[in-house]
Amino acid sequence: MESGPVPAAALVPLFLKDDEIHVLFTKRTSQLTHHSGEISFPGGRGEPEDINSAATALRETWEEIGIRPEHVEVLGELDDVRSLHNYRVTPVVGIFPAGYQLTVNDAEIERIIEVPLSHFGKPGVYRTEDWQWQGQRRAMHFYMHGTDEIWGLTARILKQFLDVLHGKCDAREEECTTPADFSYPPSD
């Protein structure tokens, strides 16, 4: 009997810079065994001491880029995303204070990438390709930021986040999301 997917979580870290919400990504070092050189959100496998997905995402964020868990306001979770390597990743959306002093774990992270949320709505930033995987056709999402290409699981999470924000629905998906009231600080 095949074991189930491994629980994992990733933080979609948001912060305010120049009066605009930004998304923080990391570029993984080329020395890592898995996903080396790829752009990702901070995150990883759940540990027994993690009480929930948010705890996993916040612990991993602390380990990778030095944002203390108590300094992140968790805004919510997105739908789980299954990785090709049998991980069930829960994306956790959170916001941390502007101007936060990051402490990058050089063993895992090559550099930090900060992208204004508005960038993802510009022409030519997003594209999709049909890929074959285990006999099935799947949409592969890609986002460009300068010379950095965001793809794979990170792009799937980013697309889901942007779809929730804008109330969009992909024709290939069964359910549509409703628009989120995304303002920070939240209005009453």
Residue 134: per-residue pLDDT: 67
What pLDDT does residue 145 have? 96
Q: Is the pLDDT of residue 159 over 60?
A: yes
Asked if residues 37 and 23 have their Cβ atoms less than 8 Å apart, the reply is no
User: Across residues 109-129, what is the average pLDDT?
Assistant: 95
The pLDDT value recorded for residue 62 is 98
Per-residue pLDDT at 61: 98
**What residues have CB less than 8 Å from 76, skipping those under 6 apart?**
92, 93
Q: Dig out the tokens for 79 from the structure.
A: 């739908």
Closest by CA to 59, choosing from 74, 78, 73, 43, is 43
Lowest-confidence pick of 49-53, 70-74, 77-81, 179-183: 179-183
CA distance 114 to 106: 17
Q: Average pLDDT for residues 125-142, to the nearest whole number?
A: 84
Q: What pLDDT score does 187 carry?
A: 42
pLDDT tens-digit profile of 10-55? Answer: 999 999 999 999 999 999 886 655 555 689 999 999 999 999 999 9
- For residue 172, the model assigns a pLDDT of 41
Query: What domains lie within the chain, and their CATH numbers?
Result: 6-166 (3.90.79.10)
- pLDDT higher than 90, residue 149: yes
Chain mean position to CA 159: 9
CB-hemisphere CA count at 13 Å for 44?
16
Go through the chain and tell me how many residues it has.
188
Q: What is the mean pLDDT of the chain?
A: 86
- Can you read off the two tokens belonging to residue 39? 């752009």
Looking at per-residue pLDDT, the higher value among 177 and 21 belongs to: 21
Amino acid at 162: L
- CA–CA distance, 126 with 122 (Å, rounded to integer): 8
